Amino acid sequence: MAATGVEAAFRMLEGRWKMVIIFHLFDRAVLRFSELERAIPGVSQKMLIQQLRDLERDGIVERVVYPQVPPKVEYRLTPWGQAMCPALDALLEWAAHRPPPKAGPAPCAD
């Protein structure tokens, strides 16, 4: 049963840019699309839109459109998305204590 929950959670967070987007929203709370684009220079506009749509569909990110010209669109974490913060902090703490990589096998001497 736990494996099913983990699979569902990973499915919501899979994608090269989703965690990066989430961390930027933790840091700044509210970001416009153009600010996210500048903050993540390696992501294409198409991919950023797709990742944000996925996060919105899954209830992690909220998209707010202001009816003005030009349109203003802001993204923020939902309360449920913000609830991830302790889990992500724990993950970062765990990663920070990674033991040094083990040495590989010694090369063969001829």
Model confidence pLDDT, tens digit, residues 17-76:
999 999 999 888 899 999 999 999 999 999 999 999 999 999 999 999 999 998 889 999
* pLDDT band, residue 5 (cuts 50/70/90): confident
Spatial distance between the Cα atoms of 55 and 46, rounded to a whole number of angstroms: 14
Rounded distance between C-alpha atoms, residue 79 and residue 71, angstroms: 25
Report the SS3 class of residue 30: strand
How many CA within 13 A on the CB side of residue 75? 28
DSSP 68: S
In angstroms, rounded to a whole number, what is the distance separating the alpha carbons of residues 93 and 77? 22
pLDDT band, very low/low/confident/very high, at 88 (cuts 50, 70, 90): confident
Total-model pTM? 0.79
What is the pLDDT, as a whole number, of residue 110?
A: 59
Cβ–Cβ < 8 Å for 64, 34 = no
SS3 14: coil
